[in-house]
């Protein structure tokens, strides 16, 4: 993030006239005092609510007790991390987090691309707009609501899906309580919520493809499928790349709200992810330092991922995230 700050005063910044330079600096600050005044509360906010908690991560190296506070709790070095890496639960939670993200990448990520390609073929404007508006709706609904709808729909006794299964003479399935079916329900519900809304960026990218490319392809006798392959997909390639890489950058994080809305005690072994684990162990069972160590581990890996991802984007010749 390199920005050129124009030198507003015509003074050459020569050595030997530091007093003048300093004066002009203060003059400049005072000329912009309204802007700085706006920024003061923002800076206080950042320090107190964003940077102080980062400093609070030091309790990962302490044995934090509420009564002692951050300062007086005893230092324990890397003991919390050693305990964490030696525990079986850490690997279960890490595995679940990575697996759910991997499934998402494999099965959910391509859906908006396919949907956008199909929507892009719709030539009747009002029909296309109606479809889009309907497909976007779940994006605006809370996971609690979507979760409770999913649970109701998949209920083995009263849910409509199992009613259908029974109608075909099949055994009802306990989707939400089955270790094999729970991840499926998780991914499908994620597609339900975000696939439609995810098409917006792809559709925008497709709209900016030069129509003469399609014309040329048609002249060459390219079928619809080949036009899609040779014109549409290359046209949205950079959008796909950026979104894909961003997704990889989030590998260590499965959103708390979706898991929390869908999980239950029967599937903990596949559904407990880092965010829910930190919540239950940290805030419900009050293991502050232990879970902070896990949180810190997660944040550091995430930071490394995002920074490397940004490198990759730039190396590919795309505009980086910063």
| Binding positions for another protein, 142-171, rule CB under 8 A | 142-145, 147-153, 155-160, 162-163, 166
Q: Is 46 in the site for another protein (CB under 8 A)?
A: yes
Least distance CB 52 / another protein (angstroms): 6
Q: Which range of residues in 10-18, 38-46, 87-95, 102-110 is near another protein by CB under 8 A? A: 38-46
Helix, coil or strand: residue 289: helix
Least distance CB 122 / another protein (angstroms): 7
Burial class of residue 251 (count of CB atoms within 10 Å of its CB; 0-12, 13-18, 19+):
middle
Q: Is 320 in the site for another protein (CB under 8 A)?
A: no
Q: Give the Å distances, CA to CA, from 271 to 32, 147, 248, 284.
A: 52, 14, 20, 18
Residue 75, token pair as written in the block: 């230092």
Q: Is 4 in the site for another protein (CB under 8 A)?
A: yes
Least distance CB 146 / another protein (angstroms): 8
Dist CA 200 CA 140 (whole Å): 14
Longest dimension (CA), the chain: 93
Residue 183, token pair as written in the block: 């991840």
* 13, 184, 204, 316: residue in contact with another protein (rule CB under 8 A): 204
Q: How many residues bind another protein (CB under 8 A)?
A: 110
Q: Which range of residues in 82-90, 97-105, 179-187, 286-294 is near another protein by CB under 8 A? A: 286-294
Residues 252-271 that bind another protein (CB under 8 A): 256-257, 260-261, 264-266
Q: Is 137 in the site for another protein (CB under 8 A)?
A: yes
Residues 105-124 that bind another protein (CB under 8 A): 115, 118-119, 121-124
C-beta pairs of 177-180 under 8 Å, 24+ apart in sequence: 177/264, 177/266, 177/267, 178/266, 178/267, 179/266, 179/267, 179/269, 179/270
Q: Is 13 in the site for another protein (CB under 8 A)?
A: no
Helix, coil or strand: residue 111: helix
């Amino acid at each position: 993030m390199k920005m050129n700050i124009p030198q507003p005063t015509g003074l050459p910044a020569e050595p030997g006239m530091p007093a003048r330079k300093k004066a002009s600096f203060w003059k400049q600050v005072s000329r912009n005092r309204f802007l700085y005044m706006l920024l003061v509360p923002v800076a206080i906010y950042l320090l107190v609510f964003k940077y102080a908690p980062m400093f609070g991560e030091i309790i990962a190296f302490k044995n934090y007790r509420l009564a002692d506070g951050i300062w007086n709790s005893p230092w324990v070095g890397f003991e919390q991390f050693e305990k964490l890496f030696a525990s079986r639960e850490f690997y279960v939670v890490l595995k679940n987090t990575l697996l759910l993200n991997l499934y998402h990448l494999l099965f959910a990520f391509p859906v908006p691309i396919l949907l956008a390609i199909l929507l892009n073929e719709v030539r009747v404007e009002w029909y296309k707009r109606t479809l889009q508006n309907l497909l976007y709706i779940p994006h605006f609904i809370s996971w609690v609501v979507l979760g409770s709808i999913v649970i109701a729909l998949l209920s083995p006794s009263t849910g409509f899906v199992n009613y259908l299964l029974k109608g075909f003479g099949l055994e009802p399935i306990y989707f939400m309580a089955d270790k094999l079916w729970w991840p499926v329900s998780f991914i499908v519900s994620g597609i339900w919520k975000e696939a439609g809304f995810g098409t917006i960026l792809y559709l925008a990218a497709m709209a900016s493809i030069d129509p003469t490319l399609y014309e040329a392809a048609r002249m060459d006798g390219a079928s619809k499928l080949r036009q899609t392959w040779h014109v549409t997909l290359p046209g949205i390639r950079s959008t796909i790349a950026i979104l894909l890489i961003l997704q990889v950058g989030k590998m260590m994080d499965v959103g708390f709200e979706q898991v929390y809305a869908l999980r239950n005690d029967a599937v903990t072994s596949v559904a407990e992810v880092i965010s829910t684990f930190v919540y239950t162990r940290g805030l419900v069972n009050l293991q502050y330092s232990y879970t902070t160590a896990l949180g810190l581990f997660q944040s550091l890996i995430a930071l490394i991922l995002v920074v490397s991802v940004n490198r990759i984007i730039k190396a590919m010749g795309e505009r980086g995230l910063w």
